[in-house]
Amino acid sequence: MSKDQFSIRLHEARLMMGLSMDKLVELTGGAITKQSISRYEKGIMHPKRDAMMALTSALGISEAYFKGTNLRIDLPVLRTTSNGKLSDEELQTIEAQLSFWTERYLVKEQKAGMTSRFVNPIKGVEVSTMEDAIQAANLLREEWHCGDGPIASIVRLLERKGIKIMSGKLPDNVLGLSTWADKKYPLIVLDFQQAKTSVERLRFTACHELAHLLLSFPEDSEFSIEKRCNKFASYFLFPKETFISEMGGDKRDFLTLEEMIDLKELYGVSVAAQVHEAWDLQMISREHYDWWYDERINKNRKEIGWGEYKFPETIGREKRIESRINNIKH
């Protein structure tokens, strides 16, 4: 085990726990000095046995963690998907969490004999316009054999396709993040806190992060990357032709709350998103769109009493992997 490897692992573990060097010294009961921790992280020196035991105890991790191969988390991509909403310190903390979690996940996959390989079925597809985003959403549905109807669980679909999804507590203004580990493992972090998001918003966020991972975004577009990802997410969840069919045609004088609730419960798409899609397709007038937002949506942002998508959006693959490992042990 090289000092460089250990120094990286210690630094990431400390950041993952959100600890300052002073706090880590406190948790070791003073068995290690701040100066020693600094030297460990710089690769100047290596802890002796007693110091190593104190560190693993304080951080609540096994010594084996320090012996693993460090995963390289793509920080520039992580910075992009956070849309500038995270400080450098917050980004470093999330990077460390992803490195720790992903390495453990890969080890679990190997132990359980459930390794997966990700293939981007729309690699190289460029999205410059909003129409490009809609077409990309249609193409991915076709490549993944999703049909044109509701997708029961977005999270389980992404897991099945080889994308590794981590549940994490993110800053208040961030619902999800995505990046790559070692340039071959796609990662999405979602904040599942019920007080922070709804199941419909969670599904949209997952699809938005999926766009960041799969698509190419030319810089000369008049539309921001975030807007192009939003467009992709909207139409991946509720395809254009399917939406028009469900609405009974491409022109409507008005939309009713009852039909919006019914479609929300079927497709897992919020009322607000449906109204926006109707306006986006010029199905309804600007006047009716404004009425919906002024009189309905802006007065009930959480859509309380407007139905909810009942199918649970949960992470399942890691639990199944762990159950196999436990049975192998026994």
CA gap 44, 41 in Å, rounded: 8
- Residue range 249-278, pLDDT digits in tens: 999 999 999 999 999 999 999 999 999 999
- What backbone torsions phi and psi does residue 56 show, to the nearest 5 degrees? -65, -35
Asked whether residue 29 is domain-assigned, the answer is yes
* Type of residue numbered 225: I
Residue 41 has pLDDT above 70, yes or no: yes
Residue 1 has pLDDT above 50, yes or no: no
Confidence of residue 83 (pLDDT cuts 50, 70, 90): confident
Apex 87 CA angle, 79 and 56, nearest 5: 95
Inter-residue contact 75 to 183 (CB < 8 Å): no
Asked whether residue 21 is domain-assigned, the answer is yes
- Residue range 142-171, pLDDT digits in tens: 999 999 999 999 999 999 999 999 988 888
Burial class of residue 214, CB neighbours in 10 A (0-12, 13-18, 19+): buried
Closest residue by Cα to residue 14 from 25, 1, 5, 3: 25
Residue 13: domain span = 1-70
Strand partners, 298: none
Measured over the CA atoms of residue 262, residue 136, residue 116 and residue 91, the dihedral's sign is negative
Tracing tokens 């929300």 back to the chain, one arrives at 264
Rg (CA), the chain: 23
Closest residue by Cα to residue 239 from 267, 219, 211: 267
CA gap 103, 74 in Å, rounded: 14
The β-bridge relationship of strands 185-190 and 176-181 is antiparallel
Q: Give residue 67's pLDDT.
A: 67
Tracing tokens 């410059």 back to the chain, one arrives at 128
- Residue range 204-250, pLDDT digits in tens: 999 999 999 999 999 999 999 999 999 999 999 999 999 999 999 99
Name the least confident of 7-11, 71-75, 107-111, 307-311: 71-75
Contacts of 158 (CB under 8 A, 6+ apart): 165, 188, 206, 210
Q: Give residue 91's pLDDT.
A: 81
Asked whether residue 113 is domain-assigned, the answer is no
Residue 124 has pLDDT above 70, yes or no: yes
Q: Give residue 251's pLDDT.
A: 97
Q: Give residue 87's pLDDT.
A: 83
The pTM for the full model equals 0.84
Apex 267 CA angle, 264 and 268, nearest 5: 65
Residue 5 has pLDDT above 80, yes or no: no
Q: How confident is the prediction for the chain on average, in pLDDT? A: 91
Taking residue 284's Cβ as centre, other Cβ atoms within 10 Å add up to: 21
Name the least confident of 105-109, 198-202, 266-270: 105-109
CA gap 160, 116 in Å, rounded: 9
Residue 18 has pLDDT above 50, yes or no: yes
66 or 250: whose pLDDT is higher?
Answer: 250
Q: Give residue 213's pLDDT.
A: 97
CA gap 303, 323 in Å, rounded: 37
Inter-residue contact 204 to 270 (CB < 8 Å): yes
* H/E element, 306: none
For position 40, which CATH number holds?
1.10.260.40
**How much of the chain, in percent, has pLDDT values that exceed 70?**
97
Name the least confident of 44-58, 71-85, 182-196, 242-256: 71-85
Asked whether residue 11 is domain-assigned, the answer is yes
Asked whether residue 210 is domain-assigned, the answer is no
Burial class of residue 165, CB neighbours in 10 A (0-12, 13-18, 19+): buried
Q: Give residue 90's pLDDT.
A: 80
Asked whether residue 5 is domain-assigned, the answer is yes
Measured over the CA atoms of residue 72, residue 78, residue 80 and residue 84, the dihedral's sign is negative
Q: For the chain, how many structural domains are there in total?
A: 1
Residue 70 has pLDDT above 70, yes or no: no
* Rounded average pLDDT over 285-306: 97
Q: Give residue 68's pLDDT.
A: 52
Asked whether residue 53 is domain-assigned, the answer is yes
Tokens at residue 249, please?
Answer: 């045609």
CA gap 70, 103 in Å, rounded: 8
CA gap 225, 211 in Å, rounded: 10
Measured over the CA atoms of residue 30, residue 35, residue 41 and residue 47, the dihedral's sign is negative
Asked whether residue 52 is domain-assigned, the answer is yes
Inter-residue contact 155 to 313 (CB < 8 Å): yes
Confidence of residue 17 (pLDDT cuts 50, 70, 90): confident
